[in-house]
Chains A and B, each alone.
Chain A
Amino acid sequence: MHTFATVQEFVRFRTVTYYTLKREGAISTETDDFLYRMEQEAGYRSQLRKLIKWFKIIGDDIDGASFGLFRQEGLCVALPPQGRYLGGTIDLRLYCHWVSENIIILYNGGIKTARAAQDCPNISRHFYNAQSWTKQLLGIGIERNGRMITNLEELYIKY
């Protein structure tokens, strides 16, 4: 049996609107859940605040959120962007779907503690959910570069 999630606006800036998903019956959206959980991790609060500030600066930037700012993770993308981290540093991961420079759908994530996301107990669930949701969004017709978007908030995503 499926539950459904809807797309809803998360925060809007001058150039970029960030959306997120909310499951039927859930108290908070997927991205709110990520923020509430990461806020409890004392060692990551500064990283989290920098990420928040980044969303605003990129959101107001005339160039918007270009695809190159994100790391490719299967069908979807994630933050922070790709790169080698010395000594396998533990890091935040927030999965997203890049629709265009002006529209980003934020999902959920956590602290990556294994080399591969699929093997990490903190984020594997979020990784697989992100793949499933992006696959559905692409199937509905929200192609990369924002073509064929009508009203995101009328969409239903199977959970």
Chain B
Amino acid sequence: MGHITLNSVRKTFGEADVIPAIDLTIQDGAFAVFVGPSGCGKSTLLRLIAGLEDVSAGTIQIDGVDVTDLPAAKRGLAMVFQSYALYPHMSVRKNIAFPLKMAGMSVDQQEAKVQAAAKVLNLTAYLDRKPGQLSGGQRQRVAIGRAIVREPKAFLFDEPLSNLDAALRVAMRQEIIELHQHLKTTMIYVTHDQIEAMTMADKIFVLNAGRIEQAGSPLDLYNHPANTFVAGFIGSPKMNLITGGEAEKLGATTIGVRPEHLDIVAQGGWSGVVGLAEHLGSDTFLKIKTDLVGTITLRAGGEVQLRHGDQVRLAPRADKIHRFGADGKAMA
């Protein structure tokens, strides 16, 4: 179980209105991701749900029960922190068993649960080590193990992968996804990395300045961004946002074209000069300086041989153009 509802939750720190008012619902068993730039309030929102911060107004419900005034320990949630927050003087075994010990569970039961969690996370060989003797990925797994043994209603992850190197991050990402498929428990995951959001989430909440800009499935957000902020944030490389005459021709203030929805054409379209060509093998990212619409990023196939200084013409696919009004919102 783990159905989480927030009703007009507000958080202020002194004068600063970090979260003006947020309503959201996370279904039982969902993998929800809060994504947004630094300082958008996503970590604060997670800490409000966890009970590590008090809400200034509004209510939080878990499985229909109002937990707004319950302390963190009584909410039945488990959290994995960015710094792992392992207890440095305890062995891995004692770290994982700590929440069970606090719950007053017998030593035999503790050991059984620790063994089970260690097996799931491949930690059995490391149970007697101290956190200082483990690698970053192993520490992360211990932190997850400490969360698993409590059998919480929901897991909260606060940027858990940002201290890992790139290769390990991809591997841990997959491990967390598999863990979710295995446990089927609600997970709420905070990240600033939209790739993590796209690959892991059932439902993404894009946050900006304490407001939810858009919520939906990854592909929904990718195909139908509700406004220019979401359009620019989701997708890599970023969507090209074009203002001015070319946008007005289509009756919009801003038009957005993803790099993969631009083609190099023989004639027509916008003319420009290749500024930078990144050859990745599978793809080629071209930064093209045009006269009409400024610098445009274009994603071409790996076999494209264009180099710095080459003259090209490019055209957007007409059915893939996103149009945004003066208020930044998508137009029908």
Q: Do A and B bind each other?
A: no
A interface residue numbers (CB < 8 A to B)? none
